[in-house]
């Protein structure tokens, strides 16, 4: 992992977390559901989505993985003090921790790094947990509808996710480089109720901007 920083069903599943730069365009992630991020910049995308949320973030990583989130890098986008980090010994433990985090309704965002896309049955369990978490938060009066994000490796995407996204770096224009900015290609590979699409995500000291990608 390269890390210098290193829509929805259900009665209570309301609202959307915007993609970085996507608030005005209505581009985002439905709350109360589980989404998938892929590609070499999936961690960078998740950290930027974290910046679009308020409150604590449960971030689950494989215990056998050497790489960890770099707080100084995360701080370029969001407050690393908001992170509650957990390390799991097995893939099954990662999925269990994500399921329990979503079901609790106690945090607005649960992120899990998974070496390869899980099967349909585990994803369905996660979706049910997210919906239950939305109900739990409602009854507790917290008003937090949880959002689940899986960061998956491997060749295949996960079945049963609400949406699947891929992000990879793009060569930056010289002016952006001078501003210490970054440029990525963001693709929506699939989503319930929306077709594939691609954008260029530009980020500099002034914030994030999202524009349609050529072609």
Report residue 4's pLDDT band, with 50, 70 and 90 as the boundaries. Answer: very low
Per-residue pLDDT, 197: 94
Q: Quick check: is 58 in a domain? A: yes
Residues 6+ apart with CB under 8 A from 197: 187, 188, 212
User: pLDDT digits over 44-81, tens only?
Assistant: 999 999 999 999 999 999 999 888 888 888 998 999 99
Please give the average per-residue pLDDT across 87-102, as a whole number.
96
Q: Quick check: is 123 in a domain? A: yes
Q: Quick check: is 171 in a domain? A: no
Q: Quick check: is 53 in a domain? A: yes
Phi, psi at residue 211, to the nearest 5°? -140, 150
Tokens standing for 29? 């992630």
* Structural domain harbouring 74: 16-163
Phi, psi at residue 107, to the nearest 5°? -130, 145
Report residue 176's pLDDT band, with 50, 70 and 90 as the boundaries. Answer: very low
Q: Quick check: is 185 in a domain? A: no
* Cα dihedral 16, 21, 24, 29 in deg (nearest 10): -20
Q: Which helix (H) or strand (E) holds 177?
A: helix 174-178
* Cα dihedral 37, 40, 43, 44 in deg (nearest 10): -110
Q: Quick check: is 198 in a domain? A: no
Q: Quick check: is 84 in a domain? A: yes
How many domains does the chain contain in total?
Answer: 1
Q: Quick check: is 23 in a domain? A: yes
Report residue 173's pLDDT band, with 50, 70 and 90 as the boundaries. Answer: low
CATH number of the domain residue 105 falls in: 3.40.50.300
3-state secondary structure of 75: coil
More confident site: 110 or 15: 110
User: pLDDT digits over 38-52, tens only?
Assistant: 999 999 999 999 999
């Amino acid at each position: 992992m390269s890390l210098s920083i290193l829509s929805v069903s259900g009665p209570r599943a309301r609202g959307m977390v915007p993609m970085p730069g996507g608030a005005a365009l209505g581009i985002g992630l439905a709350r109360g559901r589980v989404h998938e991020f892929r590609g070499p910049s999936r961690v960078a995308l998740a950290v930027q989505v974290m910046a679009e949320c308020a409150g604590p973030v449960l971030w689950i990583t494989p215990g056998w993985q050497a790489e960890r989130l770099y707080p100084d890098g995360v701080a370029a986008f969001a407050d690393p003090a908001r992170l509650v980090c957990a390390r799991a010994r097995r893939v099954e433990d990662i999925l269990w921790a994500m399921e329990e985090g979503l079901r609790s309704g106690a945090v607005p965002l649960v992120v899990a790094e998974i070496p390869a896309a899980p099967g349909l049955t585990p994803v369905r369990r996660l979706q049910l947990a997210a919906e239950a978490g939305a109900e739990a938060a409602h009854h507790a009066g917290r008003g937090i509808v949880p959002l689940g994000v899986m960061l998956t490796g491997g060749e295949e995407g996960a079945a049963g996710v609400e949406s699947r996204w891929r992000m990879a770096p793009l060569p930056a224009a010289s002016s952006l480089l001078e501003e210490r900015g970054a440029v990525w290609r963001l693709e929506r590979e699939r989503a319930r109720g929306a077709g594939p699409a691609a954008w260029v995500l530009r980020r500099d000291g002034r914030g994030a901007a999202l524009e349609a990608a050529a072609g």
